[in-house]
Structures are given as C-alpha cells and as structure tokens.
Chain A
Amino acid sequence: AQSVAQPEDQVNVAEGNPLTVKCTYSVSGNPYLFWYVQYPNRGLQFLLKYITGDNLVKGSYGFEAEFNKSQTSFHLKKPSALVSDSALYFCAVRLLWAAGNKLTFGGGTRVLVKP
C-alpha cells in the first residue's frame, strides 16, 4: 500500500520569507511524486512532479520541490512567498504501474502568507 503524510495542517509565513511545505511518503517501489494546489472554491491545479533524474524539480509559480529518497520526502519550497500563494497544498504519490494511474493524496496543508 502507498501513503502520503503532510505533517502540518497549516503553515504561516510572512510575505517575502521562504516557504516550505512538508511531505513524506511510503511506497513499495519507485514513486512518482506530485504537488497540487487548490485555491478557494476551485479544483486542484498541478504544480510540479518528480519522475526520475534530478532530485530538484522546478514547477509553476516559482515553486520547487526536492526529492530525498533516503528520507522518503518531497518537500515543496518557494524562496520568497507571496500573499497570492495562500492556498491549500496537496502532495500525492503513485507507482509506475498503479492500476488506472491512481494517485494517493496527503491530507493537505493550508498555507497562509501574511502581508
């Protein structure tokens, strides 16, 4: 079975400061890892993914994430947060051969960026 943990329900950060949203995963095999963002009253939007290769993945809106196999983590980062980054962030994992390419999502982390 595969699972994803996002240990923080909410992250508060001041505008201009670095933002980190944590994610750890558990799978039996090589994972595909994803980050999605959800703005209020909207569906999820894809941010970035790790498949293979460079452990540092760059995505939309200045976000990046680092894959750490030994720590089974895939933390989302942004060097300088904006108020508009306030949203709900979801980490997700799937295996290469998962039936239907199913994703397993973490519980989500709410990010609040204060001016």
Chain B
Amino acid sequence: NAGVTQTPKFRVLKTGQSMTLLCAQDMNHEYMYWYRQDPGMGLRLIHYSVGEGTTAKGEVPDGYNVSRLKKQNFLLGLESAAPSQTSVYFCASRTINGTSGSSTDTQYFGPGTRLTVL
C-alpha cells in the first residue's frame, strides 16, 4: 500500500492564481483531513470529511474549498491564492472501524505539499 499520497510536492503561485491539491489514500479510510502547518503554530485543521460526498469546516477554512467525490480522494482548492496561504499542507486519513480508542484510532499523514504564494 502507498498509504496517503499528495500531489504536487511543491508549487509556487502568484497572488490571485488558483490551484488544487490532491490527496489520495488506498487504505479505504472513511475520514480524511486537510491541515496547514506554519512555524510555531503546529497543524491547524482546514477542512475534513467523514465520508464520500460530505465535507465540513475545520479551524481555518477561509479561502479554501474541498471536495470528496470519491472515497479515496480529498481535494483542496484555492480559488484566489494569497501570500497568507504560503504554508505546508498535509492530508491525513483514518478509519472508523473498531472502537474509538482502539489501535485504529490514528491518523495517517501524507508527505506534504509546500506551497509558496508570491
């Protein structure tokens, strides 16, 4: 299994441009998440999904949109990029099988996408 993969690994945008980050997982996980990582601020949740066709806002959703058309994919879109969106973006997934707190109660992370907005 490849686990959680992210495309692209790096990207440079100009202010106002748009782009989509792709997250794919081959573990048949129900839940998927998008985080951004900024120095000293840890990871902050942007949006998440508890299943195909459903999405919900996280802690910092403004300026981002997401879609979960297929169970294995979770897309993060920036419609009009701003320099404040310069960050490293991580996708994660987890299963809901098993009881909460069991060995399955773990998020699996992708390698990240480094985005710079000029």
Which residues of A line the B interface, CB within 8 A? 4, 6, 9, 32, 34, 36, 41-46, 49, 51-52, 90, 96, 99-103, 105-108
Task: List the 9 closest pairs (A to B, CB-CB), nearest first.
Answer: A43-B109, A51-B101, A105-B42, A44-B109, A105-B43, A107-B42, A100-B48, A46-B106, A43-B111
Which residues of B line the A interface, CB within 8 A? 4, 31, 33, 35, 40-45, 48-50, 56, 58, 90, 92, 94, 96, 100-101, 105-112
The answer on a CB contact under 8 Å between A107 and B41 is yes
Q: Which among A36, A52, A90 is the interface contact of B101 at CB below 8 angstroms?
A: A52
Q: How far is the CA of A32 from the CA of B106 in the complex (A)?
A: 11
Most chain A beta-carbon contacts within 10 A, residue among B31, B44, B48, B109: B109
A100 in contact with B100 given A45-B109, A105-B43, A108-B42 (CB within 8 Å):
no
Q: Which among B31, B44, B108 is the interface contact of A100 at CB below 8 angstroms?
A: B31
Q: How far is the CA of A49 from the CA of B66 in the complex (A)?
A: 29
